[in-house]
Chain A
Amino acid sequence: MVKRIGKYIKPKILSLTMSDFAFRIFMMILGFGILFLIILTKSKTISHFDADPLVLFYTIFVTTFELSRVIGALLYNNTIHNKVDLIDNGKFEPMATFVIPCFNEGPAIEKTITKCFEADYPREKLEVIVINDGSTDNTLDELKRMKKIYPDLIIVDFKKNMGKRHGMAEGFFRAKGEIIVQLDSDSYIVPETFRELIEPFRNPKIGAVCAHADPENSSQNFLTKMQAAYYFMSFRILKAAESTFFTVFCCSGCSSAYRKSVVLPIMETWLHEKFLGLPVTWGDDRALTNWVLKLGHKTIYTDKALAYTICPSTLRQLMKQQVRWKKGWFVNSIFASKFIWKRDPFVAFTYFFPLIFVTLSTPFMATKALVISPIFNHTIPFYYIIGIFLVSSLIVVYYRFLSRDNRYWPYVFAWSAINMILLSFILFYAILTIQNRKWGTR
């Protein structure tokens, strides 16, 4: 049996305290209450839609879609990979290689490497490869210092900056491990939970596993607190919902594991991927995950393996990151839409295509409700805002239900608000500037 330690392990129902139990019951009641309020809000707006059934269809579609994510996440605990320890085939300890591309990460790299070597896993079955992608700071010196502490550390030094993909590919080619754990240079996996990232590969159909990531610097300021809420929501709810159907579309670049035999054959193609004639310099993680899916393998998310990463702490950095992610989402959604309907029609039609529709239409509907209607029809977007607030509330209730201790839940509302007025429009900025291929992860 897998050893599980401390607070990182999700408690079983039986071990819940009475207080936790009461809290969960309360959250469930609150959830149904909010669902009722959502329906009530719809009912009050319905007379407006008598003249416009398309808008009615749209609002019901969007609401159902968003609630379907919660339903998917609710089923996550019940999926087969969460019951893997029930079919205990004895020890499963394949050789694992950490691949860490880094560029000017002097201050952070020490912690990353230390945490790799501290992993709760036999040392002889661990390999750590760091690729210094032509750093111009003291990264190389730091690495050399680390090499003295951990002689097993493998350092690859690019004299000039090649880009993250090349760094990753280099590590993938060199890796001896059966499983490759790809980390960002400022991220690490909590050593006690490392096994949980490897465990799902017991199932031969699994091609990639994504760990649960939270920001290391959550408490720094308002923006990072908001991102802490967003990370929790996007991993534990959105990725969990994707994982329920074994189809996670993006195994996050900060901390994911791949089966080498799956990704190695497509490395060259992935490395030289182009979009509109130019090399793609973002969305590498999403692209790699999509290749795994395209090849017919399963990808999952595990909430048992925990990782930490540094999130942007200024608005400018956050916007840049968001633009990169949106570009990656856009390019890879085009890629995925070509095969996903054949590969997994259920996911394609209950999630993937609806998501594309909702993502692309949201900015238009937001513009109409928040800008055009108030100006031209003198209506206050009261119900629109209430609707968004209620859906966010429902997500918050589920968030609290999942993790009573996570104290960043109020920032879900802030994130929703910013998403409504800013982030959903960034997609269009991203699409318009898609030919700008500047490198840089952050």
Chain B
Amino acid sequence: MDKHLQKTRTIFAGAIVVLIIVVVSGSFSLKYNHIFSYENFQRVASFYSYRVTLAQEQGSNLLASVGNAFGITEKENPNIYVSHDKALSIPVLVYHGIMEEQDRFNMSAKTFKQQMLALKDNGYQTITIVDFVDYINNKKELPDKSILITFDDGRKDSFYGADPILKAIGYNAVMYIATNFSIPEDSTKRSTYYLLPGELKDMTNSGRWEIQSHSIQYGGGSIPISSINERGNFLSNFMWNSNLNRLETLSEYRDRLNDELGTSKIEIENLLGNKVVSFSYPFGDYGQQSKNNKDKARDEINKVVKSNYEVAFHQIWPIDHDYSQNHPKDNPYYLKRIEPSPEWGGDELMYWLNIGRYKNLPYDDTFSSNNGWKSAWGGISFSENKLSTFASNNTTGSFIFLDGTYLWDNYLFNADMNWKSGDYVFLASRFADDNNYITCTFSDDQIRIDQFENNDSIRLAEIDNKYIINKEKVSLGILTDESSVSCLIEGNVVLKTSNISSRLSYGGIGFKTWDKDSGISNIEINNVKILPIQANSEYVLSTLDKKDLVEKEVKEEVKKPVKKPTPVPKPVEDVYAKIELPYYKSIPDFVSKDWKNLWGNMSVDYNGIVMSSNAKTSGSFAVMPGSKDWKDYFYTVKMDLVKGLSFGLIAREVDPENYVACTFINYGYASYAKLDRVVDGKSTTIGKFKLSRLFPYKWENLAFGIKAVDKYVTCLANGDIILSANIPELQSSGGAGIKTWDETNGNSEIKIRTIDIQPINQ
């Protein structure tokens, strides 16, 4: 019996040991398994539910829909409509993430589905990046309504959120990954936020996704660029080497670029075996955002991109001063993408795609709606079937152009307008982008033909304006035919030249206004008419309504006195002394007179700054009155959240009712940050960001930051940029502050260990 018992014990103990080994090793090895994940089950379930609803919408009954979704009953999968026309331009969409709740930067799965179904319903079909590259390189023609869908950053939520609907309607997409996160060298530091190799392989194998490069992004793509802890984008700036106490040299910079762009390409190709032919500029920065390397960044980046990739995407919506779609003649390294807003439904997406499509000639526009007029500078407005463009308060002029006209070449562009104010009106033709175009320039004194080419402007022709112009109702025109340009007033050619640069052989139309004083120039356009030149320009001209021009008599000039605003005396501010930047304080040298406590409690001493609510307040609020004049700065605190739900960093504080704030809310695993703008006490949330699960649970000695540069505000947590937004109406200066909050009175407290505010000089 004892022998038998001994045997039983041995078997039992062995089984327990095996069980523990299986549980522990199983748990750890399944930790990053993506197939048995909640997201993946949800992805598969969503796909089938979409397929069932789509089949139902196509008229099958429920049973047949289910059968169709699971491939039981015979019915061809999503029918792919192919247009017989050729694509004259191709739009590229870029998305960043698909979250449960939409915010300024992330789309909800529902909206994304709406947008995709709108594309499908309107006959759009996705293409692969390989086809797109061939199209741009003029090696391949594609059917009309071809579209490329891309995602930046390689986030898990993008794949899991987008894949079901893409699969259900037979679409494919391109994912740009940062290999530092998605193909980590140290396999123990694996992200729960970014896609990982297993997922990337499955995506590639599905045939629905192409994985392309968003560079390596060491350190998240932000690098130190000066000795004072200033940071900048990693591709466009020289990096500060704190060991050697100097910036990196040009050759070190080149090596770094080659590593970032070349190694990431090789890593993806080695992992997935596909060709990496395209690149997406992180932060959309191809050199234009450089802070310490303005001269070389663009060229250097371009060289490295060229040697590694066939195409690269830069432009991100909504920046309106360029055409929104891509053409075979475009520079393949600065291709454009439209970033659909999370607020767009299917109709809005279609609107934005339609205005970018090629507009057929002849073209008339009477401005009953905006068919693609975009402002590159100054203001634009539509009212009562009229298009107005005008200088805004801080511009001397304005510049608008019409999207979808890029491929126009020989045409007559005529406009009827009310020249309300301003010295100059320009009609632009052969508009390629806002650095390359030709204008007929009209003023009271002069008529000119100007050619703008890569930031150089040449006056091709000029004469004195000897005609009387009825500014309230004037018809102006420009005719471009091969290499000749003519300017027209009331249908009469008044100036002509025939030696435009061969590089400006095609391009669209635009209007420009200008005055020596800002906020003055303004025109109101009643209609535009564009006629193609088929045989010769004489014929086209003959079709225009012509009015005889009257030459003006020589008059004495009368000058109007210019009103100058009398300066308003500045009210004397209180006793707080101005604080100079940079401002750095840590335990034990905080200065209490730098601060003004407006609400709740605040103590400033050698132990740090403690802000807390009292029995009567749910939070606290304090500002630095001496910082009101600050403009661009990067403000970081290191602190503990002792009690309570949230605290916020305040910047550009003009008064306690006008500021922007990055607020960080500790809800455990559901923690998030938001970016708020407060105007006259009314708060508007501009963006929200869920703090990743890897973010510490307890906020102790953590760094949080807010950065305000010009109109851009950025929130940072633990060194990572988590939110950023362009707030056009943002006040250009204002001070720093802190607030705290909790649901219950007296339960809010933070302790600040370090405050670091660095100026940012652009």
Contact = CB atoms under 8 A, between A and B. Distances in A.
Contacts of A378: 667-670
Contacts of B13: 350
B271 to A, nearest CB: 23
A132 interface: no
Q: How large is the interface on A (under 10, 10 to 19, 20 to 34, 35 or more residues)?
A: 20 to 34
Interface stretch (A13-21, A62-70, A288-296, A422-430): A62-70
Given A245-B9, A350-B12, A68 B19 contact: yes
Contacts of B12: 68, 71-72, 75, 244-245, 350
Contacts of B598: none
A46 B19 contact: no
B11 interface: yes
A373 B667 CA distance: 11
B45 interface: no
B4 A80 contact: yes
30 contacts: A42-B23, A42-B27, A43-B27, A43-B28, A43-B31, A44-B31, A44-B38, A47-B31, A47-B693, A48-B669, A51-B697, A60-B20, A64-B16, A64-B23, A68-B15, A71-B12, A71-B15, A75-B8, A75-B12, A79-B4, A79-B5, A80-B1, A80-B4, A203-B1, A244-B8, A245-B9, A378-B668, A379-B668, A379-B669, A379-B670
Interface string B1-36: 100110011011101100110111011111101001
Contacts of A44: 30-31, 37-38
A45 B9 CA distance: 32
A64 B8 contact: no
A332 to B, nearest CB: 24
Contacts of B36: 40
Most buried by A among B11, B22, B27, B38: B27
A246 interface: yes
Given A60-B24, A71-B12, A75-B12, A245 B5 contact: yes
B370 interface: no
Query: How would you classify the secondary structure of chain A's contact residues: helix, strand, loop or mixed?
Result: helix
A154 interface: no
B731 interface: no
B273 to A, nearest CB: 29
Contacts of B38: 44
Nearest to A246: B5
A246 B6 CA distance: 12
Closest 3 CB pairs of A and B: A43-B30, A377-B668, A39-B26
Contacts of A63: 23
A78 interface: yes
Given A46-B28, A63-B23, A78 B8 contact: yes
A71 B15 CA distance: 7
B668 A43 contact: no
Query: How would you classify the secondary structure of chain B's contact residues: helix, strand, loop or mixed?
Result: helix
B732 interface: no
Contacts, number: 88
Contacts of B29: 43
B192 interface: yes
Most buried by B among A51, A350, A378: A378
Interface string B736-749: 00000000000000
Interface residues of B, number: 34
Interface of A: 35-36, 38-40, 42-44, 46-48, 51, 60, 63-64, 67-68, 71-72, 75, 78-80, 203, 205, 244-246, 346, 350, 373, 377-379
A389 B28 CA distance: 21
B22 A39 contact: yes
A203 to B, nearest CB: 7
Interface in B684-703: 693-694, 696-697
Nearest to A43: B30
A75 B10 CA distance: 11
Nearest to B26: A39
A42 B30 CA distance: 9
A377 B11 CA distance: 43
A301 B23 CA distance: 30
B416 to A, nearest CB: 63
A42 B28 CA distance: 9
Interface of B: 1, 4-5, 8-9, 11-13, 15-16, 19-20, 22-24, 26-31, 33, 36-38, 192, 667-670, 693-694, 696-697
Contact of A67 (B19, B31, B669): B19
A79 B670 CA distance: 52
Contacts of B24: 60
Contact of B9 (A46, A67, A203, A346): A346
Given A63-B23, A80-B4, A46 B31 contact: yes
A43 B192 CA distance: 13
Nearest to A61: B20
A46 B1 contact: no
B132 to A, nearest CB: 38
Given A48-B669, A64-B19, A378-B669, 20 more contacts: A36-B26, A39-B26, A39-B30, A40-B30, A42-B23, A42-B27, A44-B30, A44-B37, A44-B38, A46-B31, A64-B23, A67-B19, A68-B19, A79-B4, A80-B5, A205-B1, A246-B5, A378-B667, A379-B668, A379-B670
Contacts of A47: 31, 192, 693-694
A86 B383 CA distance: 103
Nearest to B36: A40
Contacts of A42: 23, 26-27
Nearest to A42: B27
Contacts of B31: 43-44, 46-47
Contacts of B19: 64, 67-68, 71
Contacts of A78: 8
Nearest to A206: B1
Given A63-B23, A71-B19, A79 B30 contact: no
Nearest to B697: A51
B86 to A, nearest CB: 50
A422 to B, nearest CB: 26
Contacts of B33: 43
A79 B8 contact: yes
Nearest to B20: A64
A245 B7 CA distance: 11
A39 B23 contact: yes
Nearest to A377: B668
A46 B8 contact: no
Contacts of B693: 47
Nearest to B7: A78
B668 A350 contact: no
A306 B669 CA distance: 51
Contacts of A40: 30, 36
A350 B11 contact: no
A60 B23 contact: yes
Contacts of A64: 16, 19-20, 23
B749 to A, nearest CB: 15
Contacts of A43: 26-31, 33
A36 B29 CA distance: 12
A51 B12 CA distance: 32
Nearest to A74: B15
Most buried by A among B1, B38, B693: B1
Nearest to A68: B16
A40 B41 CA distance: 13
B692 to A, nearest CB: 11
Contacts of B667: 377-378
A440 to B, nearest CB: 39
B64 to A, nearest CB: 32
Contact of A245 (B8, B15, B668, B694): B8
Contacts of B20: 60, 64
A421 B669 CA distance: 24
Contacts of B9: 245, 346
Contacts of A46: 27-28, 31
